């Protein structure tokens, strides 16, 4: 059976009655829904019709269509405008409805013929264009619900039907047209419906250029209440099981989801094999995180691939964002992954770069990932992708399912099969996830097994594909991922667990001087110390090679949470950096002076060689402070065993160079000289 949907706002009641009279004659149409979209005069009862009244300040045809879709009781919907007369026979209409109901066609355009009344009789008929006129069409309700309905950004007439057809085609659905002279469209003067800010052709072209399939906000302008009829944009898929610190880790994970800049998602959690006494409670989770739409499922026996497939089967979102219960998503993850899908024509999903933080040693490690191309994966070593950064269309995961015969490594196997199937999974070019490493994680406890599974998977697929395919893969040009937006240490502090890590604050020379510290000679103040906000600062060196800079570093180590509390006191200062003790414990390789590359005509002041950096600092004259030490850069460019040189800045003019040299040599030692590359690129030469 068919549900007829008729959008209406302040139209001609005579044309409306003519349209409805035609619809009443068709036996396949079991209900007629009139969507009264904020008419100035409310529609009264119309025999044989159900009126759905909403309040709206402006007309939006797309939203009126969506309301009718939400209210319809049948699987097949006939959307018809009030100025259209449907005169085709019941047999033809029934055949069309069957093709739509069975899924052979998702959307059928009923081609209309224009006419107008002259002396009370139809005349001057003209066949309308056949590429998607929206006056009368028949479509599958479930398919249109899947992709978010009509795009409500098309608030005027025209464009919304073409957009829907394009998205259905990208979704893999068939769009057809029924040629007939039995669908008549009455030409009439322009409706007096008030539409503020009409679309121009450029607006429509810009929207039609968007390559994504799903549209958010099906109800944008009215007070319609049943917004839950359309599914969310995203389902977040979390598989979890009882283990030490699960409650803390899951709360950290859900905090990240609550902070997303896009909130059009549901959270599906599968308690994977936990004992009944240790299982999560949906009511408790919803109480702790009232801003999240959380749904809980469970499995009696643990199986990661079964848990993932169970979530896919119950998901309502168009996309599924894979997530682990101990990881954290940066606030812009969903927003930027949706943007990636909108830009990539034919993409079936996307993935992102990530940062791992190790609870045991406090180490932070970033991974760019690789291009997810079957040829690239088998020719390059290293981590390709983080599965919990994956973002896929739900229909993809419903067809290319996790292999439930695998105990571990089902995510890697899924990745390989996606690529062999020809699915496109581009990289977003962004960092989106923080991955927690801890003693009870699957990666820690099953690392050897996971490697064995991935090795066996690679060998099996290589054998299946044959040497000729592998040789062709090796000959392909290597592709690399270009990533932007790498988060700084200060930015990551807000996302790391409060008790994680050991961090220190570095002040550059300008910031140190602003606080009254003496970066060269150490102490200041009556008590002979460099203190600010309860932290002691001592001279230290940041970086390595020809980028080693003199800084003032806090002597106390702080956790991520404590550091966040301290940093606001430094907001007025420039040149503040946060460093990790783990990074400071590394032994950097310093470059030789001859390896220093300089730009054309660059001029510097350089010291003689000192035994170590401490000796170099002792030789610096106090007059450097008065000259503005914060504007001068310090570099150590030799191996410490061979001694250290100190370079002061880079000077554009000879006058600046001579002034800096005179200040540097105002002390007793006079150890500095001017150097230049004499207009060439390369190493330094004496001036």
The CA distance from 262 to 217, in Å, is 12
pLDDT of residue 583: 83
Buried b (16+ CB within 10 A) or exposed e, 145-171: bbbbbbbbbbbbbebbbbbbbbbbeeb
pLDDT digit string, tens, across residues 148-169: 999 988 877 677 888 899 899 9
As a whole number of angstroms, the distance between CA 237 and CA 270 comes to: 8
Q: Which residues of the chain have pLDDT under 50?
A: 132, 192-195, 523-526, 545-546, 590-596, 628-632, 634-640, 679-684, 686-687
pLDDT tens figures, 535-550: 998 877 776 544 567 7
pTM: 0.80
pLDDT, position 127? 56
Domains of the chain: which residue ranges? Answer: 2-226, 231-475, 497-542+552-581, 593-686
Task: Judge contact between 428 and 352, C-beta under 8 A.
Answer: yes
CA-based R_g, the chain, Å: 34
Residues 355, 358, 363, 364, Cα dihedral to 10°: 10
**Fold classified for 231-475:** Spore Coat Polysaccharide Biosynthesis Protein SpsA; Chain A (3.90.550)
Amino acid 14: pLDDT: 86
277 backbone φψ class: left, alpha, beta (φ>0; ψ -120 to 50): alpha
Phi, psi of 44 (to 5 degrees): -90, 180
Q: Which CATH class is domain 593-686?
A: alpha beta
| Residues 68, 65: Cα–Cα separation, whole Å | 5
Q: Do domains 2-226 and 231-475 have the same CATH topology?
A: yes
DSSP symbol at 222: B
For residue 236, the model assigns a pLDDT of: 97
The DSSP letter of residue 380 is -
| Tokens at 96, concatenated | 């069309």
Burial of 458 (0-12, 13-18, 19+ CB in 10 A): middle
Which two structure tokens, joined as six digits, stand for 641?
């065993």
Specify the pLDDT at position 300.
Answer: 93
Q: Which fold has domain 2-226?
A: Spore Coat Polysaccharide Biosynthesis Protein SpsA; Chain A (3.90.550)
């Amino acid at each position: 059976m068919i549900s007829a949907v008729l959008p209406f706002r302040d139209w001609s009641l005579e044309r409306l009655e003519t349209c409805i009279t035609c619809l009443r004659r068709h036996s396949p149409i079991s209900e007629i829904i009139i969507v009264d979209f904020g008419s100035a005069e409310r529609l009264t009862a119309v025999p044989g019709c159900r009126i759905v009244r909403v309040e709206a300040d402006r007309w939006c045809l797309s939203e009126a269509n969506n309301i009718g879709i939400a209210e319809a009781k049948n699987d097949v919907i006939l959307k018809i405008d009030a100025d259209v007369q449907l005169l085709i026979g019941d047999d033809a209409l029934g055949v069309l409805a069957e093709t739509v109901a069975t899924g052979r066609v998702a959307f059928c355009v009923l081609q209309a013929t224009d006419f107008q009344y002259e002396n009370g009789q139809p005349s001057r008929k003209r066949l309308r264009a056949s590429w998607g006129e929206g006056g009368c069409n028949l479509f599958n309700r479930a398919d249109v619900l899947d992709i978010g309905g009509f795009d409500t950004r098309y608030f005027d007439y025209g464009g919304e039907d073409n957009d829907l057809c394009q998205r259905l085609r990208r979704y893999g659905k068939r769009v057809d047209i029924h040629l007939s002279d039995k669908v008549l469209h009455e030409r009439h003067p322009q409706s007096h419906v008030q539409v503020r800010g009409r679309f121009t052709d450029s607006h429509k072209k810009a929207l039609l250029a968007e390559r994504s399939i799903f549209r958010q906000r099906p109800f944008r302008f009215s007070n319609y209440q049943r917004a839950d009829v359309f599914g969310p944009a995203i389902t977040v898929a979390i598989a979890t099981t009882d283990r030490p610190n699960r409650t803390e880790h899951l709360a950290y994970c859900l905090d990240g989801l609550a902070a997303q800049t896009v909130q059009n998602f549901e959270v599906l959690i599968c308690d994977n094999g936990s004992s009944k006494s240790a299982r999560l409670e949906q009511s408790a989770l919803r109480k702790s995180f009232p801003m999240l739409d959380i749904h809980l499922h469970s499995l009696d026996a643990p199986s990661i691939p079964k848990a993932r497939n169970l979530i896919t089967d119950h998901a309502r979102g168009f996309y599924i964002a894979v997530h682990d219960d101990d990881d954290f998503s940066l606030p812009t993850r969903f927003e930027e992954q949706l943007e990636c899908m909108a830009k990539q024509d034919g993409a079936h999903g996307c993935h992102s770069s990530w940062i791992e933080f190790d609870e045991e040693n406090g180490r932070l490690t970033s991974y760019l990932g690789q291009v997810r191309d079957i040829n690239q994966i088998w020719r390059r070593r290293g981590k390709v992708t983080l599965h919990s950064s994956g973002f896929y269309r739900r229909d993809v995961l419903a067809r290319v399912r996790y292999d439930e015969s695998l105990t571990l490594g089902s995510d890697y196997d899924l990745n390989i099969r996606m690529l062999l199937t020809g699915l496109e999974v581009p990289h977003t070019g962004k960092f989106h996830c923080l991955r927690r490493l801890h003693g009870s994680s699957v990666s820690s406890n099953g690392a050897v097994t996971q490697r064995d599974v991935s090795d066996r998977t690679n060998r099996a697929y290589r054998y299946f594909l044959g040497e000729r395919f592998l040789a062709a893969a090796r000959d392909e040009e290597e592709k690399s991922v270009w990533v932007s937006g790498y988060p700084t240490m200060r930015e990551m502090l807000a996302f790391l667990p409060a008790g994680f890590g050991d961090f220190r604050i570095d002040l550059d020379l300008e910031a140190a001087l602003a606080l009254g510290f003496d970066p060269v000679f150490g102490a200041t103040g009556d008590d002979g110390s460099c203190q600010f906000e309860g932290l002691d600062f001592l001279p230290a060196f940041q970086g390595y090679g020809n980028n080693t800079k003199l800084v003032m570093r806090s002597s106390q180590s702080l956790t991520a949470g404590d550091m966040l509390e301290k940093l606001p006191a430094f907001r007025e200062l420039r040149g503040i950096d946060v460093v990790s003790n783990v990074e400071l414990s590394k032994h950097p390789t310093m470059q030789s002076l001859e390896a220093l590359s300089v730009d054309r005509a660059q001029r510097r002041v350089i010291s003689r060689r000192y035994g170590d950096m401490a000796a170099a600092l002792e030789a610096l004259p106090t007059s450097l402070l008065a000259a503005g030490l914060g504007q001068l850069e310090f570099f150590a460019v030799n191996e410490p065993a061979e001694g250290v040189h100190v370079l002061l800045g880079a000077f554009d003019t000879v006058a600046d160079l001579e002034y800096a040299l005179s200040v540097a040599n105002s002390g007793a030692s006079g150890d500095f000289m001017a150097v230049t590359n004499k207009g060439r690129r390369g190493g330094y030469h004496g001036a």
